[in-house]
Structure 1
Amino acid sequence: MTQFNFNVDMDVIKEELIGSNLNATIKSSIILILNQMMEQERDEYLKSSSYERTGDRVDYRNGYYERDYMLSIGKITLKVPRSRNGKFSPSLFERYQRTDQALIATMVEMVVQGVSTRKVTQAVVKLCGENVSKSFVSSLTERLDPFVKEWSSRSLVGKEYPYIYTDALYIKVREYQKVVSKAVYIAVGVNEDHKREIIGFHITHDETKAGWESFFESLQSRGLLSPKLVISDAHKGLKAAIHEAFTGSSWQRCTVHFKRNIFSALPKKETETFRSLVKDIFTRQTQKEARALYQEIASNYEGQKKYENALNKLEEGLEDAIQYMSEQKSYHPLLRSTNNLERLNSEVRRREGVIRIFPNQQSAFRLIGAVLKDYDELRLCKRKYLPET
């Protein structure tokens, strides 16, 4: 019997399907591919093909069941293979739909709690393909909440993260019949394999020193060791918490935020040369070279009133902004700012924007946690971030 082998990239398939107008023949082809993919996945799980006798077999086939699967083109029905012990589950329904399930659960929770609008209800129907019940929300919540909690509290013992990036973003949550702002703390570490990993996130009332200290303490209780370098913006509470929590670690001030802060103290006109010189500081390879250029700038512009505030800001923050220069030169462009968190934050914003106002903090934890875990698994862990030495 001929055996078909398919190498299917689900991300590519989903992107290609979005917005498509597929006819019945092409839709049937997609069903054939997905069914075959799940069949091969079951073979890999069982460590055995159909009718194959092997001592490595871990379980037996137990037929199929039908399950609907939502695509942007509409609902399709797949034949899902199962195993006798019931432990086999195709990644099609788990790995690639966790975030969508969390989004659906949160949106339906809004409907259940009576804080939704007509548009929210329509969005739920569009995502699910049909009206959903309260029991549907409960089943998703029961399945997703422990999954997100386990990932967010996983042990970090035995791991080293020489470089840690941290930032906060704000969301809106309904609390005691009021809409309040909440801060979401996120920490991304670069591990010994030079790959990024989301090591933690936390939702709290606002961005304060006490809040950051609590977040860092939770990371340390899970086994996080002090890194060589912590990269962040210059929020006073965050800066103070880093110095207290990570003894012996250096703090790298994000150079993008730093330059923006300096330039905000300048007139908009006729300061191009000064701005260019300040930018050149962060192209230098060593701290000695950076300090020498700063001295040159200070000497040339000293006494000129329109540059006074900018020079003060530059002098005050220079040392914290050039700490990355102590690391390997090939790492410099990747260690001097928190730009790598911007893509992550935008992914959270993309999903959070559908909700706009979370019905409660637990629903925010569920959705943001699912987004971060999927992003961590599907993007960050796939490739090295820092070049090899």
Structure 2
Amino acid sequence: MTQLNININFEELTEAIMQSDMNMMMKSLAVTVFNAYMEVERDEFIQAKNYERNDHRLDYRNGYYERDFTLAVGKLRLKIPRTRSGEFSTKIFEQYQRKDQAFVLSLMEAVVQGVSTQKVTHIVEQLCGESVSKSFVSNTMKRLDPEIQAFKNRSLTYSFFRYVYVDAMYIKVREDHRVVSKGVYIAQGVNQKNRREILGFQVSEEESTTSWKRFFQDLRERGLTQPRLIISDAHAGLKKAIQEIFTGTAWQRCTVHFLRNMIDQMPKKNNQEARYHLKKIFRANTLQEAKEARQKFEDHVQDDTRYKTVLALLDQGFYDGLQYLSEPEDYHVSLRTTNSLERLNREVRRREKVVSIFPNVDSAERLIGAVLMDIHQAWQKAPRAFLKGPVLGKEDTSSEDET
């Protein structure tokens, strides 16, 4: 068994102990062990110990050079052995960093959780006694790229997603020396076990039919089959893309957005009763109940010309807001709005806000992808399913009501 020849600097160690400086003591010991280990590595590479002469020698010692190595305990100054041929290379950096990633993972987690790179550099300085640049933090985050790309491009053939929620949010990105607005498209699906999953995301242009179609086509190419219901707001480009890419899928208009649009067109005063009747329409559990609530609302406002626009909007979107009635009643509260996806967007926004303006699209996808992966994994570990009620198969029908 190879023995390490460890020579401890007793004066430095004594000073650290007397001053109760555990961090200095750990750094001193780490330097000693690493230097000794690399000496053994060089001996084995050369196949000869110091001053040993034999016929199997492959190279000759050629002094040392110094290199800094940053760990959680701080920056270490190591003596790296060299050989005359220059072919010797220590494996200690690669192996040690692969085994102990606490320092790097802490940086990544801080950024993903919404801590700015400026604050992260300050935290590192406080913990390690050494400063790191913002570019160091950014480069550290790049280690997530393979994992994020694997998550973003994974196959979706492993499950049937009966319901799909889609929405977009906006971020600021530097592009060609300008700050431009980009859309972040996110799709959330409900799998065969009634659990939520993040199906995909994309940073692209502002909302349009073309950009939505590109996003949906990517989902289809990755294996997303025809869902029963897609829930979203009523953006014109989004609606058209759904019709073209998911022909035959029912579209549920988010009732929260729809009600907000209609209430904005109401008189500002004395509208409490009208609002009550309007909301009752989209809290119905059957189509007949919704029709009766609609009649009560129309009877209440029909003589008031100020509700003309509201009545027109209701007539136009009545059935689009009631597609959830074709699904099990236990699911209604979750299917009639995009509230669950709105909450997801707010969580992304909370962590994105500290960045303010992304330097490029890659950095935006990196941070947003990391946040979405984090949330996706939390959903998988949640003790309860997203949809309460029966778990249905792909071909199950759940109601005789037709809208």
Partner of 2:124: 128
Partner of 1:194: 194
Partner of 1:100: 110
Deviation at 1:387, TM superposition (A): 1.1
User: What is the rounded CA distance, in whole Å, between the counterparts of 1:202 and 1:351 in structure 2?
Assistant: 17
1:68 aligns with 2:72: yes
**Greater Rg by CA:** 2
Partner of 2:248: 248
* CA 93–190 in structure 1, closer or farther in 2 if over 3 Å, else same: farther
Contact 1:232/1:338 (<8 A) preserved: yes
Contact 1:348/1:371 (<8 A) preserved: yes
User: What is the rounded CA distance, in whole Å, between the counterparts of 1:198 and 1:96 in structure 2?
Assistant: 24
* CA 266–90 in structure 1, closer or farther in 2 if over 3 Å, else same: farther
Partner of 2:214: 214
Contact 1:230/1:252 (<8 A) preserved: yes
User: What is the rounded CA distance, in whole Å, between the counterparts of 1:380 and 1:274 in structure 2?
Assistant: 42
AA in 2 matched with 1:387: K
AA in 1 matched with 2:323: Q
Contact 1:102/1:140 (<8 A) preserved: no
Partner of 1:341: 341
Partner of 1:149: 149
User: What is the rounded CA distance, in whole Å, between the counterparts of 1:154 and 1:94 in structure 2?
Assistant: 25
Deviation at 1:293, TM superposition (A): 1.9
Instruction: Please give the secondary structure, in 2, of the residue aligned with 1:322.
Output: helix
User: What is the rounded CA distance, in whole Å, between the counterparts of 2:267 and 2:106 in structure 1?
Assistant: 50
Partner of 2:16: none
User: What is the rounded CA distance, in whole Å, between the counterparts of 1:138 and 1:351 in structure 2?
Assistant: 15
Under a length normalisation based on structure 2, what TM-score does the superposition of the two structures give?
A: 0.68
User: What is the rounded CA distance, in whole Å, between the counterparts of 1:94 and 1:380 in structure 2?
Assistant: 25
* CA 134–255 in structure 1, closer or farther in 2 if over 3 Å, else same: closer
Structure 2: give runs of 5+ residues left out of the alignment. 1-22, 24-69, 75-91, 391-403
Instruction: Please give the secondary structure, in 2, of the residue aligned with 1:194.
Output: coil
1:327-379, Cα deviation, whole Å (9 max, x unpaired): 10111111110111122112111111111000111000100000010011024
Count of aligned residue pairs for this structure pair: 302
AA in 2 matched with 1:68: A
* CA 103–386 in structure 1, closer or farther in 2 if over 3 Å, else same: closer
Instruction: Please give the secondary structure, in 1, of the residue aligned with 2:338.
Output: coil
1:281-321, Cα deviation, whole Å (9 max, x unpaired): 12211112202221332244224201111111111111000
The range that moved more, 284-293 or 199-208, is: 284-293
AA in 2 matched with 1:385: F
User: What is the rounded CA distance, in whole Å, between the counterparts of 1:380 and 1:127 in structure 2?
Assistant: 31
Partner of 1:309: 309
Deviation at 1:107, TM superposition (A): 6.0
Partner of 2:7: none
User: What is the rounded CA distance, in whole Å, between the counterparts of 2:303 and 2:191 in structure 1?
Assistant: 46
User: What is the rounded CA distance, in whole Å, between the counterparts of 1:337 and 1:220 in structure 2?
Assistant: 23
Partner of 1:370: 370
Matches within 5 A, 1:2-151: 67-68=71-72, 98-101=108-111, 121=118, 123-129=119-125, 130-133=130-133, 136-137=136-137, 139-151=139-151
Identity %: 44
Under a length normalisation based on structure 1, what TM-score does the superposition of the two structures give?
A: 0.70
1:170-221, Cα deviation, whole Å (9 max, x unpaired): 0000111111111000000011111100010000120111110000000111
* CA 291–96 in structure 1, closer or farther in 2 if over 3 Å, else same: farther
* CA 91–223 in structure 1, closer or farther in 2 if over 3 Å, else same: farther
Partner of 1:23: none
User: What is the rounded CA distance, in whole Å, between the counterparts of 2:183 and 2:201 in structure 1?
Assistant: 10
* CA 193–97 in structure 1, closer or farther in 2 if over 3 Å, else same: farther
* CA 355–185 in structure 1, closer or farther in 2 if over 3 Å, else same: same
Partner of 1:180: 180
* CA 103–158 in structure 1, closer or farther in 2 if over 3 Å, else same: closer
* CA 88–132 in structure 1, closer or farther in 2 if over 3 Å, else same: closer
1:138-186, Cα deviation, whole Å (9 max, x unpaired): 7524411111111111110131110111111000001111111110000
Partner of 1:385: 386
User: What is the rounded CA distance, in whole Å, between the counterparts of 1:268 and 1:103 in structure 2?
Assistant: 41
Partner of 1:6: none
Deviation at 1:252, TM superposition (A): 0.5
1:295 aligns with 2:291: no
